[in-house]
Amino acid sequence: MAAEVGLRQRKKQQTRKAIFDAARRLFAERPFEDVTVAEIARAAEVSEVTVFNYFPTKEDLFYGGMQFFEEDLLEAVRSRPRGESAIKAFRRRLLDGTDALGSKERIAAITQAGDAVSASPSLVAREREIVERYTQRLAELLAADSNSDPGDVEPLAAAGAMMGAHRAMVDYVRRRVRAGRKGAALVEDARAQIRRGFARLDRGLADYAVKR
């Protein structure tokens, strides 16, 4: 039974990735608004219903990669070792993520995404919604580790500060890429910005939500 469950889960992950990869290819070729879900389904060799089962909206397809990374950030906080603060685990995952900035493929993806978002109000709105949702989920994790209510101001403020710094980094990298920064120089630039930004936050959050 366990083997069957594992096989089903792997198949679901493969289908999700196939849909996301097909959408990413099409979004790279044409403006976001011009790509239809029907085209994405055909490219992924699945039905439109299957696409919507995995990605409720076309905007979710566009932001699939972003949501994968946000999940990684939450997991880094959730699975951090005892004695480590939430902000340290969060910052470590962000620093690890800068390695990908050295590839030409990643630079092309950032450029395309930035152009698409700037031209689509629906994508701008969806990005805000995703950030708000993951900020709330991070606050819930912090509340659990600090024995407080998820609706209290403290975990919400801490989560907002950490996610705010993260999203500021996303915007910063987009601007630097537009300005022509790439390769190792971009990686080091991003790492320096993360270290500086989180050093400032660390003064207030270093002893908050330390895992017991």
Give the pLDDT confidence of 155-183 residue by residue, as tens digits: 999 999 999 999 999 999 999 999 999 88
Measure the CA–CA gap between 129 and 23, rounded to whole angstroms.
20
State the average pLDDT over residues 133-157.
92
Q: What is the pTM of this model?
A: 0.81
Helix (H, G, I), strand (E, B) or coil at 210: strand
Measure the CA–CA gap between 68 and 14, rounded to whole angstroms.
14
Q: Which option is the CATH number for 63-205: 3.30.565.10, 3.40.50.720, 1.10.357.10, 1.10.730.10? A: 1.10.357.10
Q: What is the pLDDT of residue 31?
A: 85
State the average pLDDT over residues 85-111.
91
CB atoms within 10 A of CB 41: 19
* Fold of the domain spanning 2-57: Arc Repressor Mutant, subunit A (1.10.10)
Q: Taking all residues of the chain, what is their mean pLDDT, rounded to a whole number?
A: 89
pLDDT more than 90, % of the chain: 56
186-202 burial string, b = 16+ CB within 10 Å, else e?
A: bbebbeebbeebbeebe
Give the pLDDT confidence of 15-60 residue by residue, as tens digits: 988 999 999 889 888 888 899 999 999 999 999 999 999 998 898 8
Domain boundaries, the chain: 2-57, 63-205
The answer to whether 2-57 and 63-205 have equal CATH topology is no
